Structure formats: structure tokens, C-alpha cells
Amino acid sequence: MSGFSLSDLESIVAERSKVSPEQSWTAKLVAAGQPKAAKKLGEEAIEAVMAAVTGDRDNLTYEAADVLYHLLVVLKIAEIPLENVMAELERRTAQSGLKEKAGRQSS
């Protein structure tokens, strides 16, 4: 298994967002703003769903990578560190998903 992590990818996104948009797709997305980056994230998510539904494992792997990358770009633009998302996931795993959902419905 690779030692590459989402934190590594977050660092790469941060570095590439600082260069000229002519030199980096990441910088181009960041310069275009959140609407463009979020739209691209949505497109990639739809492509991942389609690959999952059709059972195309190779394409699902490829599209899942696109989803994760574009999500990190969207988070970068919103200035939300991956650490915050991971903390939220950790908080949610402290109880069962069914119990957590039931608690949200009663709020």
C-alpha cells in the first residue's frame, strides 16, 4: 500500500494553488472561484456514481480520485482544512450511524 495520504494531497493542492493559472489546473480552478470548483466536484461525483452503478471498478477508482482531489480544491477555496473534516468524521464515529441520524431527525 502507498504511503500517500489525503494530507499529502492537501499539501500539493495548497502549493499548486499558489502558482500561475497557466501553469496548474489547481491554480486555474482556484482562480475561477468556488462556483467553478464546486461544479467540477459535482461533475466528478456524478461520474463516480455512474461507474459504481455500472460496476466499472477501474473507472470508479479513477473517478473517486477525481472526487477526492476536487473536494480538496473546494475545501482549499473555502479555507476549511482537511483536519476539520477529519475531526467531524471522528466525532461521528463515536456512535453508530443509525443513532447519529436519529439524533439529527429529532433536532
Instruction: Locate all alpha helices (DSSP H) within the chain, ordered by sequence.
Output: 6-16, 25-32, 34-54, 57-77, 82-92, 97-105
CB distance 34 to 74 below 8 Å = yes
* Chain segment 3-23, per-residue pLDDT in tens: 999 999 999 999 999 999 999
Which three cell numbers, joined as nine digits, stand for 61? Answer: 477508482
What is the identity of the amino acid at 42? Answer: G
0.85 surpassed by pTM: yes
Distances (CA, A) of 39 to 10, 42, 57, 83: 19, 5, 24, 23
Question: What residue ranges do the domains of the chain occupy?
Answer: 6-80
Sign of CA dihedral 3, 37, 81, 57: negative
CA 72: distance to chain centroid?
Answer: 5
Assign domain 6-80 to its CATH architecture. Answer: Orthogonal Bundle (1.10)
Mean pLDDT (whole number) for 17-36: 98
* Chain segment 47-99, per-residue pLDDT in tens: 999 999 999 999 999 999 999 999 999 999 999 999 999 999 999 898 777 77
Burial class (CB in 10 A: 0-12, 13-18, 19+), 84: exposed
